[in-house]
Amino acid sequence: MPRAVVTGGAGFIGSNLVDRLVDDGTDVLVLDDLSSGSLGNLRDARSRGSVKIHQIDVSDNDVVGLVRDFRPDTVFHLAAQIDVRRSVADPAYDARINVLGTVNMLEAARHSDAERFVFASSGGAQFGDTFNIPTPETAERKPSSPYGVSKYVAEQYFSYYQAMHGLDFMSLGFANVYGPRQDPNGEAGVVAIFIESLLAGRNPTIYGDGLQTRDFVFVEDVTDAMVRAGRIGGSRYVNVGTGRETSVLKLLEVIVEAVGADIAPIMAAPRKGEQMRSCLDPSLARKVLGWEAWTPLADGIEQTIAWFRSREG
Ligand SMILES: NC(=O)c1ccc[n+]([C@@H]2O[C@H](COP(=O)([O-])OP(=O)(O)OC[C@H]3O[C@@H](n4cnc5c(N)ncnc54)[C@H](O)[C@@H]3O)[C@@H](O)[C@H]2O)c1
């Protein structure tokens, strides 16, 4: 039976990945401090497969022994401080979790003789504002927040571990991921925020003119890219996005139509430093992973709304 460690496995993307790994017959060890994730996200996976959970901070030295004892084939590292505004307010905290936590997980992976390390990176946050759209992997990295810097810095260790310890890696730069289990209170999820507002009959807020664009990719497509990266490897950075730009206004239109509640948005002042455009070129993922996002935005939105409704009922 293949074995995988998933850090951040109780969170939004991590728990969807655990579901997929369990479906594939993988034995899973989740390491999560439950700071934003929840055990409820893993209830279904635990009832269907072999999922052990250990509540621990990834920057804690004890993770090295835990991972060594589990002897995974693959380490999927998703645990992170994901709040951009918190990274601005407290860059040292952000670096402790996102940089030192990643180095700690790399140590754990090499001491356990894992074959591969798959990292949840961020495309949008690393490339910063750009007119090079859709942005290829070769574009200059100009992170505009400590969160983007920490993802970039953590990645610089991967080639060293590959050369020195033979640890193959794949760093996947996600676009804006959305889908079931995204936390509407988290700062990353505009889709979750809009859906929650509309279902509660509240007017959603748009900051600025709503013409800012993002590349919205469905979580099931993203976890498929992670599983492929875990199997194929190749020690490189690869974008995981759709290559399609969607404005925030257009996104709201799609959600309003799917919810069936015509509630006008509140237009608020633009947020300082907000990126205007973000969209990743997925050509390399097609080539090296045989992967392409397949869920149309309207279908992914339907599935996400269905999940929010099931939570209410
Ligand atoms: N959601 C997106 O659009 C997006 C985009 C780009 C990159 N990412 C990356 O994907 C990963 C998962 O993000 P998500 O959206 O699922 O967020 P999330 O907050 O739902 O998941 C993060 C998980 O990590 C756990 N965690 C946080 N700090 C920890 C620590 N110090 N030790 C152990 N566990 C810890 C949390 O409890 C949570 O379960 C992150 O690395 C994030 O940077 C997400």
Q: Are 51 and 20 contained in the same domain?
A: yes
Q: Are 153 and 139 contained in the same domain?
A: yes
3-state secondary structure of 177: strand
Q: Is 51 domain-assigned?
A: yes
**pLDDT tens column, 74-86:** 999 999 999 988 9
Residues with CB under 6 Å of ligand 1 are: 7-8, 10-14, 32-37, 57-59, 78-82, 97, 101, 120, 122, 174, 176-177, 183, 186, 188
Q: Is 40 domain-assigned?
A: yes
- Ligand 1 atom closest to the Cα of residue 14 is 16
Residue in 93, 147, 161, 178 annotated catalytic: 147
Average confidence score pLDDT of the chain: 96
Q: Is 308 domain-assigned?
A: yes
**pLDDT tens column, 211-249:** 999 999 999 999 999 999 999 999 999 999 999 999 999
Q: Is 183 domain-assigned?
A: no
CATH code of residue 74: 3.40.50.720
Give the per-residue pLDDT at 128: 86
Q: Are 225 and 151 contained in the same domain?
A: yes
Q: Are 143 and 247 in contact (CB under 8 A)?
A: no
Query: Does 187 score more than 80 pLDDT?
Result: no
Selected residue with higher pLDDT from 312 and 34: 34
Side-chain-facing half-sphere of 203: CA atoms under 13 Å: 8
Q: Are 67 and 208 contained in the same domain?
A: no
Question: Has 147 been annotated as catalytic?
Answer: yes
Q: Are 264 and 287 contained in the same domain?
A: no
The contacts of residue 164 (CB under 8 Å, 6+ apart) are: none
The percentage of residues in the chain with a pLDDT greater than 70, rounded to a whole number, is 99
Q: The domain containing residue 161 runs over which residues? A: 3-178+216-243+279-294
Give the per-residue pLDDT at 224: 98
Give the per-residue pLDDT at 313: 62
CA of 222 to the centre of ligand 1 (A): 14
Confidence of residue 9 (pLDDT cuts 50, 70, 90): very high
Q: Are 249 and 264 in contact (CB under 8 A)?
A: no
Q: Are 42 and 158 contained in the same domain?
A: yes
Side-chain-facing half-sphere of 20: CA atoms under 13 Å: 20
Mean pLDDT over 252-269 rounds to: 93
Q: Is 62 domain-assigned?
A: yes
Q: Are 166 and 221 contained in the same domain?
A: yes
**pLDDT tens column, 267-308:** 999 988 788 999 999 999 999 999 999 999 999 999 999 999
For residue 85, the Cα-to-chain-centroid distance in whole angstroms is: 17
CA of 187 to the centre of ligand 1 (A): 11
**Residue 242's CB: how many other CB atoms inside 10 A?**
23
**pLDDT tens column, 86-122:** 999 999 999 999 999 999 999 999 999 999 999 999 9
Alpha carbon distance 299, 216 (integer Å): 12
Q: Are 200 and 130 contained in the same domain?
A: no
Q: Are 62 and 114 contained in the same domain?
A: yes
CATH code of residue 272: 3.90.25.10
Q: Are 17 and 108 contained in the same domain?
A: yes
Alpha carbon distance 179, 194 (integer Å): 12
Q: Is 208 domain-assigned?
A: yes
Q: Are 42 and 154 contained in the same domain?
A: yes
- Ligand 1 atom closest to the Cα of residue 79 is 24
Q: Is 185 domain-assigned?
A: no
Say how many domains are in the chain: 2
Q: Are 140 and 11 contained in the same domain?
A: yes
Give the per-residue pLDDT at 13: 98
Q: Are 14 and 7 in contact (CB under 8 A)?
A: yes
Give the per-residue pLDDT at 144: 87
CA of 183 to the centre of ligand 1 (A): 11
Q: Is 101 domain-assigned?
A: yes
**pLDDT tens column, 119-140:** 999 998 999 888 899 999 999 9
For a mutational test of ligand 1's pocket, the pick from 78, 182, 219, i.e. the residue with the most ligand atoms closer than 8 A to its C-beta, is: 78
Please measure the distance between the N-terminal and C-terminal CA atoms of the chain and give it in whole angstroms. Answer: 37
- The pTM (predicted TM-score) of the whole model is 0.98
Query: Does 186 score more than 70 pLDDT?
Result: no
